[in-house]
Structure 1
């Protein structure tokens, strides 16, 4: 079961240490969507290849390419943990292990999302975020792309990018308050 909660400060400390401070302010997946546009799907890791659940999501969103990565290298982890955005939405399906997405909400505060095997997360284009592994440093992930596995991480600040402006306009206009 995916969990999401607000974190204090910049969240750069180890997420396991966070539980030694104030209790987290958990939020619902519905509120996560309203505040950030981030979507979550729960798929069965054992049956997604035959039950059509992943194929349905890919078809609805027009995605044609996927690959799989396991526990990225140190350089990749440093890049993922730097706050950034993409010009296209980022879709990741966790097959094994655990990680944390930190997402900026509509007030520029951090929300931490714990993702485990079976969680599929969609981060909207233009949304500042970062990703890190938990203490096990194990995470096998299916990455899903529109056409090919190329995307660029634009490190903050890049508020002048069109995708960022469009994302902020959607937040301001309540575009993510509609039913998923």
Structure 2
């Protein structure tokens, strides 16, 4: 099952390592940020959540050094991109079929919370939340991606001027303050 904790920013280890500060974060703290987490053992359970949340489409993605087009170097470059802080205008939904990885999200004090996710973990990030993703040191994950409409993935990077003014960011901030 998933582990949630504050990210240790003082560590010099690669971002694919745990960076566990030892300060635990609860599922309630994540829920207060709009992050939905469930450990779901069966496809039937995933399908029930998908129906409740009106997800219509899905696909499977697998990331590993062995299977990524271009190999280890290309995957490393892609992980650097995934690890750059960004937001999406849609929910980001991942159900882990195999392997493990990390999603980092910002709390209300702009500190990183790390979610280490494993097989059978379902994580949903709300539109407008700043986050990033990386594989663990195992460099392997297979995940089911769910979508409300047709699949799309457009990142709005925090480093880009105007991203803080994105309407989805503003709506997110309003939602978590109420």
What TM-score do the two structures reach when normalised by structure 2?
A: 0.85
Aligned CA-pair RMSD: 1.9
The answer on whether the counterparts of 1:11 and 1:110 sit within 8 Å (CA) in structure 2 is no
Give every structure 1 segment of 4 or more consecutive aligned residues whose post-TM-superposition deviation is greater than 2 Å.
Answer: 8-19, 75-79
Gap regions ≥5 residues in structure 2: 69-74
Q: 1:176: which partner in 2?
A: none
Q: Deviations over 1:69-102 (max 9, x none)?
A: 1116424323211111000110000110010111
Moved more, 10-19 or 120-129: 10-19
- Alpha-carbon distance in 2 for matches of 1:111, 1:165: 20
Moved more, 118-127 or 73-82: 73-82
Offset of residue 56 of structure 1: 1.3
Structure 2 vs 1, CA of residues 161 and 149 (structure 1 numbering), >3 Å: closer, same or farther? same
Q: Does 1:71 find its partner at 2:76?
A: no
- Alpha-carbon distance in 1 for matches of 2:168, 2:132: 17
Secondary structure of the 2:100 match is strand
Q: 2:168: which partner in 1?
A: 163
Q: Deviations over 1:123-150 (max 9, x none)?
A: 0100000000011101001111112111
Moved more, 109-118 or 8-17: 8-17
Gap regions ≥5 residues in structure 1: 174-180
2:90 to 68, 78, 88: 88
1:27 to 25, 28, 39: 25
